[in-house]
A and B are shown apart, each in its own frame.
Chain A
Amino acid sequence: MRNLNLSRLSKPIILVAFVVTLAILRPSSFLTISNFANVLWSVSVIGIMVCGTIFVFLLGGIDLSIGTLAGLSAVTVVEVIKNMGATNESVIIGVLAALGVGAAAGVVHGLIITKFDIPAFLVTFASQMVFLGLSMVITNNQIVSAREPVLFTAIGSMKVLGFPLPIYLMLLIAVGSWFVLSKTTFGRGIYAIGGNPVASEISGIQVKRSTVLCYVFSGVTAAIGGIVLAAMTQQGMASTGTGYETQVITAGVIGGVSLLGGVGTVSGCIYGAVLMGLINNALNLLSVPSTQSGLVQGLVIIVAVAFDALQHQDQSRRKARRILGRLGGDKANESPAA
Chain B
Amino acid sequence: MRRLRPFVKLLGAVVVVAGCGGRGAVTFSITAPSEPLLNPVAQPELVTEYDIRTASGNVIGIASAVQGSGSSGDGLLPLGALMPTMGPEDVYVTALTGGSTLGMARIKDVSISKGKTATYTAELRKPLVCVGAAMPAESASGNKTAAVQVIDPLTAADLAKQPSSPVSIAGMTAAASTWDGRFVVAANGNALTAWDTGSGKTVAGTLTLAFAPSRVVVAPRDQAIVALDPGSGADGSLAIISDVAGFVGSPGSANPKIVRMPGAIARTAAFSPDGSKLYVLTGGTAVDPCAPGATLTPNAIQVYGLDGSMTNMFALEGFAADVTVDPQSGAIVVADVAGKQIATLDPASGAPTKVLGNLTCPSAVRVVNGTVFAVTSDRDMPTNGFILQRVPLKGGASTATPFTGPNYNIPIDSMPSTNGDIGMALLPVRPVSIDAYELAVTPDGSRAEFATRAVYNEANTKFMFSGEDCTANFNIVEYGLFAVDLRTGNASYESRSQLVTQGKNDCVDCQLPSPFPDQVVGCQSTAGDKPAGLAATFGQ
Chains A and B belong together in one complex: no
